């Protein structure tokens, strides 16, 4: 028996812009419209909607196939979606005006496409031409740089409910010709829409990049713009073995960094509290607690828990502001200091080191773990959250790349592997050392002081 009454496949095979393909003729908006319509007609439990790769009918896209009937629809537009859902998925009647039922012609087109594709791959190979995917990886900084510049200039706020290039340029105090080039590039990336000579934010850009939106993430994303400058020193850092740029830290650096940390933390607090918390915890130390997101989450989930945040003097006021907003000033206290040198206190049931160890060298981490061990009560736990590399250090990719983020930004930091954490924890005296895998590239290492 089929688990779903219908299975819909939508082709989303990405191809270069100049080549005919389903995404280039609009399959992604069709996919989104199908998702919305299926949900709004409450058919989600009966209809399975998934994407698929190229069907060889690229010039007739967007293509979609509905099983078990095996109906192949072609040139589907967003405006056709409601009819497909109403007629085919709800009532079982195929929409014949969109169905492509000439099986012979379809097979011939698909076979011809495959042959052409194979010949093209072979010709590139014989000619020693750089594969398209490699080329794209090498130039991937370009779209990234375009968005970061738009964020730095707060361009999405300037576009607001619609503006010409000259109007945007005036608002962001920039050159009109250059602003227009940037706006056009953003429209090509589908982060803006252009109608006549007026630019508009897409719903997504308005939600995440525009001043006044409750989900505006610009402040935290500015941190990525800051580290972009460091990344451009990577070649020199690899030669030198450490960071080479120490100067460039604008006034917005610390607030943007802590906003970025806060955004990451909020996605993860529930899973971390579930994996590392517990009712018996009365005293907690949050090493480098940053925005206070983790202390706030632990305290809110644990009756009677008091937390101490130890962070650098420049960060403490930002943590205090968040603690005050959460109404937890009685239960979370902050201390300015250096976790590698200043006293940590004693008798904690839980010490959390979230996104800390990657800043330090192996020797500094060993020292930190020994100090944490001494600061715990018997039965207390040290919980480390970080990107944890597999023993080969080549995966997960986010952790391997983040290691370089630490090379360009710290004296001796890095991502570390599970076996490295395990040996440092054991050598510091911890028992019951274990790794807890959480969704996403970061995970936990936990050790207990017996
Ligand atoms: C990557 S952030 C992590 C923030 C928070 N733990 C989280 O997971 O969201 C690192 C934090 O450690 C703090 N920090 C860096 N070096 C420190 C040191 N030597 N002593 C105390 N805090 C430090 C930074 O100010 C920053 O708040
Ligand atoms: S890209 Fe969709 S059929 Fe080829």
Per-residue pLDDT of 12-23, as tens digits, reads 999 877 788 999
Give the span between the Cα atoms of 293 and 444, in whole angstroms.
17
Task: Identify which of 405, 317, 417, 328 has the alpha carbon closest to the alpha carbon of residue 359.
Answer: 405
Residue 247 pLDDT: 65
pTM of the model: 0.88
Contact 82, 98 (CB under 8 A): no
**CA-based diameter of the chain, in Å?**
78
User: What's the full length of the chain, in residues?
Assistant: 450
Residue 16 pLDDT: 79
Residues 6+ apart with CB under 8 A from 326: 292, 296, 300
Rounded distance from Cα 53 to ligand 2 centre (Å): 7
Ligand 2 atom nearest residue 113's Cα: 4
**Ligand 1 contacts CB of residue 359 (under 6 A):** yes
Rounded distance from Cα 23 to ligand 1 centre (Å): 42
Buried-state track 305-335, b at ≥16 Cβ within 10 A, e below 16: bbbbbbbeeebbebbbebbeebebeebbebb
| 368-391 residue pLDDT tens | 999 999 999 999 999 999 999 999
309 phi/psi in degrees, rounded to 5: -100, 125
Q: Is the pLDDT of residue 279 over 90?
A: no
How far is the CA of 19 from the CAs of 61, 117, 134, 392, in angstroms?
12, 12, 18, 39
Ligand 2 atom nearest residue 61's Cα: 2
Mutate to test the pocket of ligand 1, among 312, 340, 382 (most ligand atoms within 8 A of CB): 312
Region 256-278: mean pLDDT is 95
* 3-class state of residue 189 by DSSP: coil
Ligand 2 atom nearest residue 62's Cα: 2
Residue 403 pLDDT: 98
**Ligand 1 contacts CB of residue 261 (under 6 A):** yes
| 293-344 residue pLDDT tens | 999 999 999 999 999 999 999 999 999 999 999 999 999 999 999 999 999 9
Residue 248 pLDDT: 63
Region 339-358: mean pLDDT is 98
Beta strands in 191-314 (DSSP E): 192-195, 198-201, 283-287, 306-311
How is 202-225 classified by DSSP, letter by letter?
-HHHHHHHSTT-TT--HHHHHHHH
Q: Is the pLDDT of residue 269 over 90?
A: yes
């Amino acid at each position: 028996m089929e688990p779903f009454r219908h299975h819909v496949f939508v082709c989303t095979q990405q191809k270069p812009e100049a080549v005919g393909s389903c995404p280039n003729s609009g399959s992604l908006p069709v996919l989104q419209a199908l998702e919305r319509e299926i949900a709004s007609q409450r058919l989600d439990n009966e209809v399975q909607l998934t994407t698929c790769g190229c069907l060889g009918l690229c010039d007739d896209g967007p293509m979609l196939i509905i099983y078990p009937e095996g109906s192949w629809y072609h040139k589907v537009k967003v405006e056709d979606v409601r009819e497909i859902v109403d007629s085919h998925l709800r009532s079982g009647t195929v929409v014949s005006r969109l169905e492509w039922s000439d099986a012979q012609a379809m097979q011939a087109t698909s076979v011809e496409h495959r042959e052409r594709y194979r010949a093209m791959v072979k010709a590139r190979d014989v000619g020693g031409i750089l594969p398209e995917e490699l080329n794209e990886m090498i130039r991937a900084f370009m779209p990234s740089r375009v968005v970061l510049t738009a964020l730095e200039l707060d361009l999405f706020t300037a576009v607001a409910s619609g503006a010409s290039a000259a109007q945007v340029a005036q608002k962001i105090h920039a050159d009109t010709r250059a602003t227009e080039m940037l706006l056009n590039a953003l429209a090509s990336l589908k982060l803006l829409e252009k109608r006549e000579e007026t630019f508009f934010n897409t719903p997504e850009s308005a939600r995440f990049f525009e001043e006044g939106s409750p989900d505006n993430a610009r402040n935290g994303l500015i941190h990525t713009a800051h580290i972009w400058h460091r990344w451009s020193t990577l070649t020199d850092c690899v030669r030198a073995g450490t960071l080479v740029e120490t100067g460039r830290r604008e006034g917005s650096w610390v607030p943007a960094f802590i906003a970025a940390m806060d955004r990451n933390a909020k996605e993860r607090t529930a899973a971390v509290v579930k994996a590392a918390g517990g009712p018996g915890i009365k005293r907690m130390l949050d090493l480098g607690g940053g925005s206070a997101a983790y202390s706030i989450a632990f305290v809110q989930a644990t009756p009677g828990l008091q937390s101490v945040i130890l962070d650098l003097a420049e960060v403490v006021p930002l943590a205090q502001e968040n603690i005050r907003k959460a109404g937890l000033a009685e239960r979370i206290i902050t201390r300015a200091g250096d976790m590698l040198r200043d006293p940590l206190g004693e008798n904690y049931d839980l010490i959390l080191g979230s996104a800390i160890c990657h800043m330090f060298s192996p020797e500094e981490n060993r020292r930190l773990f020994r100090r944490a061990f001494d600061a715990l009560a018997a039965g207390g736990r040290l919980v480390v959250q970080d990107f944890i590399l597999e023993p080969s250090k080549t995966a997960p990719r986010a952790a391997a790349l983040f290691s370089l983020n630490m090379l360009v930004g710290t004296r001796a930091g890095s991502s570390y592997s599970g076996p490295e954490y395990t040996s440092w924890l054991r050598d510091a005296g911890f028992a019951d050392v274990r790794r807890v895998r959480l969704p996403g590239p970061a995970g936990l290492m936990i050790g207990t002081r017996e």
